[in-house]
Structure 1
Amino acid sequence: MVEGIVAGPWSVVPALVAIALAWYTRDALIGLFVGIVVTSVLLGALHPQTVGVPPDLITAGGEVATVQPQAENASSWTTGVGGIGLGALFGLKLVPEIIATAPLFGEWYVKNVLLAIFAIGGMIGLMIRAGAIQGVLEALASRVDSADDAEKAAFLAGIAVHIDDYFNCLVVGSMMRPLTDRFDVSRAKLAYYVDSAGSPASRLAFYSTWGAAMVGFIGSGLVEAQKQGSLPSGMSNFVDAGGEQVTAATGAVWPLFFNTLFTGFYSWAALALAALVAWQVVPNLYEMGTEESRARETGEVVGEDADPMISEEMDEYEVSETATPDWRNFAWPILTMVVVGLSAMFWRASPVIYVEGRQRMGTTLVQLGGWRLVAPPSGPWAFNIGGVQLGIASIAALIVAFLLYRWKGDIPSNDDATDAMMVGFKGILLAAVILMFASSIQNAVSLLGISSFVTNVFGGVPAFVVPVGVFLVTSAVSFSDGSSWSTYGIMFPIAIPLAFSTGANLPLVLGAVFSGGIFGDHTSPISDTTVLASSTSGSDHMVHVRSQAPYALIAAGIAAALFLVLGFVVPEGFRIIPY
């Protein structure tokens, strides 16, 4: 197990390297991986004995620096130039361990995140092949008689297919492009609707891959707060410190995540603004106006100098000849996933449901079967339930989809169904890889004590400034690295301890991190979902980025104003859903 250290200002270096490289290379994966490598080098350089540097070589080259480990019973050490150099070199062997010990590879994450990602990917592959998604879009298209209607249909299609941002972009852009072309809606406008209903909508779908992943990110931030000693005593049930290492009690974290559904202001603002644009309430601004005017007047949905990006993945994979497009084929698996996921929360084998009360003793008030209502000795009133079991829910939905489509004959054979699922697995693989490295960079910066450093530096700022400050910083990081999940890996170990140390309202701070991550994912030219939206819509990529920017900045301004005002008026202990 890699031992964490207090690296001071060095702790921010891997995050800065990851962000800078992601921006320069336009590839978040490269930046994240190099950030992990830099962490291993720093750990080795600052703690050479843990990577196998002989003791007599650690001080070689003279006295240079003293670094204190995080462990209370550990002694400090002095390193020389030779020790630093050898430690940095030997530190490279920590890269696999940093990745392997990332939270993502814990039992809960494997069952509820990794398993769910691939199950949902396979299910959507089946939906495409069986014509289920085509049925949803045809149901919308049947009501289209004009360009205005085509815009509304494009927006609503994005809302309907919001299980995952990647598949939202892949499916909606490819399916709606012929319809919007028919009514002379510019490709840039279609890309805006696809992108706006991608990450912003998926972020609010608690039963999707996003729900489980976000709970994991929050849990890691709580673990970091516990390590620092800033976790409030009333929230001790959110972490489990009984084993060899501190882990998050994921079942207890879900109410925290549900609170952020209300404080994810950027998602709500972006979706509301896109709806107002689709219903012609908000006009076409700047370059979007130029694109739309040309498309309406000349029928050219892209400009003469444009370089449209067309995704071949979904174009090459077609609906089965035996399929009958039907929106109900889409609804049944999704309904299964929602019902199973929520039912698992209230199943009697779930974690204990309890109420905390100030005036009662810690006794069982009610017990019925596997349910217990318990009042601890003190603390605010709170209600806690087990978390959504996304792994079970998504596998149940995949099974229902497979059996339904085979029974109806929409997919003609088991081999065809297997091929469809493989297409879905391939489409979701990038999300899984990004999540793996995002979780690893989160583990990496935590090992260097980044949250302790940031908390010490900014711990004195007024509490009301924290939510809007966190939103702005997270937005900048996400825009730079082009990935909300990698940004969450960097920011949650910083933001949650900062909230506790300053007395800022926790749901607001969590919503600020989520909102900032979505802003970058929505607007950055190197964001994978932004590229996919351009690609499947057949839009010039930079035209899409520029034409979408004014709307994204308006939504960000609204979100920032809400975080500032509510940060000032909402007290520290306020929450919408008790936890």
Structure 2
Amino acid sequence: MENTIFSLIPPFLAIIMVIFTRKVLISLGVGIVSASLLLAEFSITGTISTIYDSVKGIFVSDGEMNYSNIYILLFLIILGIITSFISISGGSRAFGEWAIKRVKSRIGAQIVTAVLGIIIFIDDYFNALAVGQISKPITDRQKVSRAKLAYLIDSTSAPICVVSPVSSWGASIIALIGTILATHNITDYSAFSAFMQIIPMNLYVWATLAMVFIVAFRNVEIGPMRVHELRAVKEGLVTDPSKPAAGELKEDLPTSSKGTVGDLVWPIVALIVGTVGTMLWTGYEAAEEKTILAIFEYTDVTKSLILGGLLGLIVTLGFFIRQVVILKAVNGNVLGKGVWAGTKSMLPAVYILLFAWAIADLIGRLETGKYLAGIADSTNLNSSFLPFILFVIACIMAFSTGTSWGSFGILLPIAGDIAAATDVSLLLPALAAVLAGAVFGDHCSPISDTTILSATGAGCNLMDHVMTQIPYAVTSAIIAGIGYLVIGFTGSTVLALLAVALLLILFAIIAGRISKVDWQET
């Protein structure tokens, strides 16, 4: 069953079920069982053993604790507790009142979120969660739905990281490109130079980022997003009250009337400084060459997240103690309630992540990615179609497996092989197309950890985020796909970017007019 068409069954089954039933855990569970059945050749005892090994592998790998996954789960819990005590200390209320005096429109709230997402480019996990914490008070005050907030966060996390050389993504990609260049004895440019040349060729990233600002400025609400935005504007409900949302506090916690903006800002600053500082430290300790790229290549992201989270938590509790002891604004006995409320708010995200990691492991064992990559490797079409074909296959692979890293880890070397054997001038466009497609698939997949964390950071129901984001992401992908056809047939990145820009302008004009009429009619 491995590396065959049957390996597509579990991911497609899980994705189709989650889209139609909106029951994430059940759908992922069906995907896990079906993958285990295939791996165990339909043996019941073998299936149970396979599921157990997969779940165990989340916490223990090769006889050692899998600290990376454990740190992410702990970081989520810590972030929930930080959010809880920021609310108790009055920081969220005060920041919201401060922001509403300065950010005076829905457009402004969305632009602030998008800019923050672009600025905080160090790591996609950190981006998704940190931007959500900062932006929620602003977007809530301006009646921007959490679904829209999740879309803005998701569209400015991985897309920015994949084109930033100074990020956990960029450094790893540069190292992988270096291996590809060495394999094919290409000495015309270095790995870093190749990465920098690839940046403008990553057409999906530029289409996605442009789409974010078009959506904000032109008030473009496509498909399900319109329902969420209308509810937010007309009823003041930024979430669907009938659906659970990860990262959202459910407890009716007391709030200090003496809270200030600093009660929110300084814990977030401590979180950012602690995380980035630890990333630099761990990377410096591990890297042989003490260059900034080497430091980011070897940085321990998950360890940095947990240490930065602990620093943020300490600062948060410090401000809470100030409210209790000095200002006498809240009662100290709310401590336990705050910890539990924050922990409970993150449990849905924890459960979904556990299921997503399990199915990702099983899909990896089924070699679904290798099967899809083999399709690209065996294609005999005109080499001018190569960037477009690789883009489409990377989209499908990342969407099916829920991982952009796994997708470009498998497909980049294959893209290098195909380009070197057919037309080496298409090497960089081919690599760019793989990276772009991997980001798209990861961007949209309901089993992707970045999708899950973006919904968590925004306090949005996961499937609401997935279904409202897909129309925008697919539109950007179609535009990018046309751009890759232009690159393949002309060899010109400039013409491809012009084609993408013209299509985006056309979309902005048409969609903006339709949305304007649509909103006026309602």
Deviation at 1:384, TM superposition (A): 4.2
Q: Name which of 125, 144, 149 aligns with 1:194.
A: 149
Separation in structure 2 between the aligned mates of residue 566 and residue 133 of structure 1, nearest angstrom: 47
Q: Which residue of 1 aligns with 2:274?
A: 340
1:398 to 304, 307, 313: 313
Residue of 256, 260, 272 corresponding to 1:326 = 260
What letter corresponds to residue 468 of structure 1 in structure 2? F
CA contact (8 A) 1:131 1:324 kept: yes
Change in Cα spacing, 1:502 to 1:111, as seen in structure 2 (3 Å) is: same
1:372-397 Cα shifts (integer Å, max 9, x gaps):
x9xxxxxx999844333111111111
Stretches of structure 1 lacking an aligned partner (at least 5 in a row): 46-84, 181-188, 223-230, 236-255, 356-370, 374-379, 479-485, 571-579
Q: Which has the larger radius of gyration?
A: 1
Q: What's 2:354 paired with?
A: 436
Find the partner of 1:448 among 366, 373, 381. 366
Aligned to 1:56: none
1:20 aligns with 2:12: no
For 1:153, which of 109, 133, 156 is the aligned residue? 109
Deviation for aligned residue 1:310: 6.3
Show the counterpart of 1:227. Answer: none
Q: Does 1:99 align with 2:65?
A: no
Alpha-carbon distance between aligned partners in 2 of 1:108 and 1:258, rounded to the nearest angstrom: 33
Which sections of structure 2, spanning at least 5 residues, go unmatched? 121-125, 184-193, 417-426, 494-522
TM-score, length-normalised on structure 1? 0.58
Compared CA separation, residues 401 and 472, structure 1 to 2 (3 A): same
Q: 1:6 deviation in Å?
A: 3.9
Describe the SS at the equivalent of 1:412: coil
Q: Does 1:141 align with 2:54?
A: no
Q: CA deviation at 1:114?
A: 1.7
Q: TM-score, with normalisation over the residues of structure 2? A: 0.64
Matches within 5 A, 1:382-421: 384-388=297-301, 389-409=304-324, 412-421=330-339
- The letter for the 2-side match of 1:427 is S
The structure with the greater share of residues assigned to helix is 2
Equivalent-residue separation in structure 2 for 1:406 and 1:531 (angstroms): 27
Residues 37, 44 of structure 2: 8 Å contact kept: yes
1:496 corresponds in structure 2 to 409
Q: CA deviation at 1:11?
A: 2.2
Residues of 1 paired with 2:295 and 2:310: CA distance? 32
1:517 is aligned to: 442
Mapping 1:132-281, distance limit 5 Å: 132-143=91-102, 149-153=105-109, 155-156=111-112, 176-177=139-140, 179-180=142-143, 190=145, 193-203=148-158, 269-270=207-208, 272-278=210-216, 280=217
- Where 1:197 maps in the other structure, the secondary structure is helix
Match of 1:464 among 387, 392, 396: 387
Between the two proteins, the alignment pairs up a number of residues equal to 430
- Tell me the distance in 2 between the aligned counterparts of 1:345 and 1:509: 27
Residue 259 of structure 1 contacts residue 507 of structure 1 at CA under 8 Å; is this kept in 2? no
1:427–1:205 CA distance, 2 compared to 1 (3 A) = farther
Letter in 2 for 1:195: A
Specify whether residues 421 and 41 from structure 1 end up closer, same or farther in structure 2 by C-alpha distance, changes over 3 A only.
same
The answer to whether the 8 A contact 2:148-2:229 is kept is no
How far apart, CA to CA, are the structure 2 residues paired with 1:190 and 1:381? 40
Instruction: Give the corresponding residue for 2:509.
Output: none
Distance 1:535 1:381 in 2: 36
Q: Which residue of 1 aligns with 2:396?
A: 473
Report if the CA contact (8 A) 1:141-1:150 is conserved: no
Q: C-alpha distance in 2, partners of 1:116/1:293?
A: 30
Listed one character per residue, the Cα deviations across residues 484-509 of structure 1 (whole Å, up to 9, x for unaligned) are xx722xx6545421221221655653
Counterpart residue identity of residue 518, structure 1: H
Flag the 1:350–1:170 CA change in 2: closer, same or farther, 3 A. closer
RMSD, matched Cα: 5.2
CA positional deviation for 1:469: 1.3
Amino acid at match of 2:378: G
Contact kept? 1:265, 1:515, Cα under 8 Å? no
Q: Deviations over 1:368-423 (max 9, x none)?
A: xxx7x9xxxxxx99984433311111111111111122224477344323322322
The answer to whether the 8 A contact 2:249-2:345 is kept is no
CA contact (8 A) 1:454 1:494 kept: no
Residues 416, 444 of structure 1: alpha-carbon distance in 2 compared, 3 angstrom cutoff: same
- Paired position in structure 1 for 2:25: 29
Which string of whole-angstrom CA distances, capped at 9 and with x for unpartnered residues, describes residues 24-60 of structure 1? 3222322222222122222222xxxxxxxxxxxxxxx
CA contact (8 A) 1:98 1:443 kept: yes
CA distance in 2, matches of 1:103, 1:492: 20
Cα deviation per residue 1:123-148 (whole Å; 9 max; x = unaligned)?
Answer: 11222222222333222211366xxx
Residue 119 of structure 1: how far off its partner (Å)? 1.3
Q: Distance in 1 between matches of 2:316 and 2:456?
A: 29
